[in-house]
Amino acid sequence: MLALKFSRGLTLSAIFTAILGATLPSCVFAQEESAQEPVPTITETIQVTATRTPEDVETVPASVTVIRGEDLAARGVTDLPSALALATGVSVAPGGDAGPAASVPEIWGLREFDAFLLVVDGVPWGGAFNPALPSVDLTNVERIEILRGSAPVMYGATSFVGVIHVIHRQAGVPGRAGSVWGGNYSSGGAAFSTPLPQAGRLKQSLTVNGEKQGYKDDRTQFERGHVL
């Protein structure tokens, strides 16, 4: 409340001048304070899922783990059990119904040959009901995506416990890589990948690898190779 005391002899214009002089500074001060208040900002967190569509983290229906190719190379990974060894909630035992080169993953405590879907570069590897685990090639891999939980809308009804998606580097990506390894029981292998000269608009690369895995039993071993 503003209280003013006037004496005789003041004109009407002098009274108005006194009132404006008393109220104007407070109004200007209030305007300056409101102008200096910080403008609130709203930030949103997004997560890239296996559908390659940005979605809010709280609405993503399944857990996705991404294993980078650089991490696989640093660990010297050559097979699927070694690649998934550090993935939480996933266990891979060597061997299986498809022979010693096969490795059936266990996701969410369920280990069944057809309980998950194996995808390589967007294509079901070996078919929806018969994943070709023995022939998975982990040379020149860009990343491995592990989706836990059913994904029938994106991948079909056979992926009711999860999806393992192996994604290789695109053709023509710069960089050469080579590796040689060996082990007990005459086990060993080698791999090499290199980009090739571009033919017009066609980008191309070459990846070659082969390995032999022996075991204590002389009658148990496997050999495999890939050319991409």
Token output for 42: 């709203």
For the ranges 36-40, 64-68, 102-106, 147-151, the lowest mean pLDDT is seen at 36-40
Token output for 91: 């266990």
The pLDDT confidence band at residue 109, using thresholds 50, 70 and 90, is confident
pLDDT at 131 over 70: yes
Q: Are 137 and 121 in contact (CB under 8 A)?
A: no
Phi, psi of 124 (to 5 degrees): -55, 125
Query: What is the spatial distance between Cα 141 and Cα 68, in angstroms, rounded to a whole number?
Result: 8
The pLDDT confidence band at residue 64, using thresholds 50, 70 and 90, is confident
Query: What is the spatial distance between Cα 71 and Cα 65, in angstroms, rounded to a whole number?
Result: 13
Query: What is the spatial distance between Cα 61 and Cα 65, in angstroms, rounded to a whole number?
Result: 13
DSSP state of 135: G
* pTM of structure: 0.66
CA nearest 166: which of 197, 196, 131? 131
DSSP state of 110: B
CB atoms under 10 Å from CB of 101, counted, come to: 20
The pLDDT confidence band at residue 62, using thresholds 50, 70 and 90, is low
Which pLDDT score is estimated for 143?
Answer: 93
**More confident position, 211 or 52:** 211
Give the type of residue at 146.
I
| Arithmetic mean of pLDDT over the chain | 77
**More confident position, 23 or 157:** 157
Percent residues over pLDDT 70 in the chain: 67
Task: Please give the C-alpha separations between residue 16 and each of 1, 5, 27, 200, in angstroms, as whole numbers.
Answer: 17, 13, 16, 84
CA 87 to centroid of chain Cα atoms: 12
The pLDDT confidence band at residue 51, using thresholds 50, 70 and 90, is low
Which pLDDT score is estimated for 28?
Answer: 47
pLDDT at 155 over 60: yes
Domain annotation for the chain: domains and CATH numbers: 61-227 (2.170.130.10)
Q: Are 84 and 71 in contact (CB under 8 A)?
A: no
Query: What is the spatial distance between Cα 64 and Cα 90, in angstroms, rounded to a whole number?
Result: 12
pLDDT at 172 over 70: yes
Average pLDDT over residues 153-163: 72
The pLDDT confidence band at residue 207, using thresholds 50, 70 and 90, is very high
